[in-house]
Structure 1
C-alpha cells in the first residue's frame, strides 16, 4: 500500500440548520510532507476533541478505492482527496482485512490501528447531503483511526508497509458492525 494524499484542514465555520457549526472536516491535499504527532497531524484543525484526535484517534486514514463507490452517488460534488476528513488517503486500505493492533511503517512514522470511524452530521455537512451519514453506516467503508507509535513526517508516495499483524483481533469492519448494533439498542 502507499499514501496517495496527505490532507489537512483549517477551522471552518458553517451554518447548518440555522446553527453555526465549527468543523475541521474540510481537508485538502498537501504538496509537502505532514508531521504525524502523538495526538494529531501538526497544523490540522481538530474542532471536536471529544470525538477526534487524541492518542487513539490521532490519524484518520481512508481508502482511495472507496472513492469509486461514492463518486457515482454524489456526481455533482467537487471531488478532491480528503473529502471524508481523512488525514491520509491510502490506495488500498481494506477495513475487512485490517485488525486492531496491526502496525504500519509509513515515512518516518509508525502507526497502530485502533478504531473505526463513526460518521456524524459533519460528514453530511461536507457532502451537503445528510443521507451520506446513513449510507456510510451501511457500508464497511468507515476508514481507520491510528495511534502514532513513532512520530515523524510522511508524504504522498510513501509506502504504507505492515510491520505487525494482529489477525487474532477484530477487524475494523467488525468494530463498525458492533457499533451499529449498539446504536440500535
Structure 2
C-alpha cells in the first residue's frame, strides 16, 4: 500500500432518511477545512443512534472510492455513486482498501493521531439510502465495508494534509482477513482465538469473538441488515 492518502472530508447532520424514514446521519457532504478532530470524530458531524453509531471506537469512518466502480457494475448507475459519501463515510480515499489496512494501524492526519479500531458492520439504513433491498447484506458479503478509526490524539487537519501511516503493530491482520473471519470462516477457532486477543481491536468485536469461542454459535445478523432491533453482534 502507499504510505499516505489524500482524503476528501465529509460530515452530515441528523435528518430523516427518506420520506418518513428513521433519523440518520448517513448523508455526509464534503466540507472545507480546516477540520477539528476530537475523540468522537469531526466537529460538525452527527449520528442519530449513539447506541450503534459514533463514539470513541467509531470516531471516523473511511471508505475506499476504489469500490464505487464495482458497485456500479453490480447495481447499475445509481445516482449516489456519482460522488463520494454514498456510504456515509467521513473520509473518502483511493489507494487503500480493506486488503491494505490492518487492525491497529496508526496514522497521522494533520495534528490528529488515529488508529484503526474495527471494520464497519453495515445496517439496514444502507437499504433505505440506496432504496435497494439487500444493499447492507451486499456490503457485508463483499467485504467492501470500509473501516473505523479511533482518535488517539485530537487535532486539526488542513486541506492538503494526507493520512500518513506511522505504525503497523498487526501486519498479519488486515481488515479483509478479519472480515472474512467475521462473516465467512465463522467457526475457525484458531483464528478466533488469535483475533479475540488483539488489544487494538475494538472491545465490542473482541467480546463478539470471545462469545463465539465460548458458545460455538454465530450471531444472527439478519435484524441488523434487514431492519428492526440490532442483534447481539452490534
TM-score by length of 2: 0.71
Give a deviation string over 1:50-102, Cα, whole Å, max 9, x none.
11211111111111211221133230324321111111112222212311111
Q: Distance between the aligned counterparts of 1:125 and 1:103, measured in 2?
A: 33
Which of the numbers 7, 22, 25 marks the counterpart of 1:4?
7
Shift in Å at residue 22 of structure 1? 0.6
Aligned partners of 1:121, 1:46: CA distance in 2, in Å? 15
**Contact 1:3 1:88 (8 Å CA) reproduced:** no
Q: Which runs of 5+ in 1 are unaligned?
A: none
Compare the two structures and name the one with the higher strand fraction: 1
2-structure distance, mates of 1:41, 1:159: 16
Maintained 8 Å contact 2:106/2:113? yes
* Larger RCO, structures 1/2 (Cα 8 Å, 6+ apart): 1
Corresponding residue of 2:34: 33
Distance 1:23 1:184, change over 3 A: closer
133, 146, 150: which one aligns with 2:149:
146
- Do structure 1's residue 83 and structure 2's residue 86 form an aligned pair? yes
User: C-alpha distance in 2, partners of 1:147/1:98?
Assistant: 14
Query: Using the alignment, how far apart are the partners of 1:156 and 1:74 within structure 2?
Result: 32
Q: Is 2:115 the partner of 1:125? A: no
SS at match of 2:88: coil
Q: Quick check: 2:105–2:116 contact (8 Å CA) kept in 1?
A: yes
For 1:171 and 1:29, the matched residues in 2 are separated by 28
Alpha carbons of 1:130 and 1:152: their partners in 2 closer, same or farther (altered >3 Å)? farther
CA contact (8 A) 2:7 2:162 kept: no
SS in 1 for 2:138: helix
Give the root-mean-square deviation of aligned CA atoms.
2.0
Count how many residue pairs are aligned between Structure 1 and Structure 2. Answer: 183
Asked if 1:101 corresponds to 2:139, the answer is: no
1:175 aligns with 2:189: no
Separation in 2 of the partners of 1:68 and 1:36?
30
> Unpaired segments of 5 or more residues in structure 2?
187-217, 222-234
Q: Which has the larger radius of gyration?
A: 2
Q: Distance in 2 between matches of 1:68 and 1:107?
A: 29
Aligned partner of residue 79 in structure 2, secondary structure:
coil
Report runs of 4+ in structure 1 exceeding 6 Å deviation: none
Give the corresponding residue for 2:76. 74
Name the structure where helix makes up a greater proportion of residues: 2
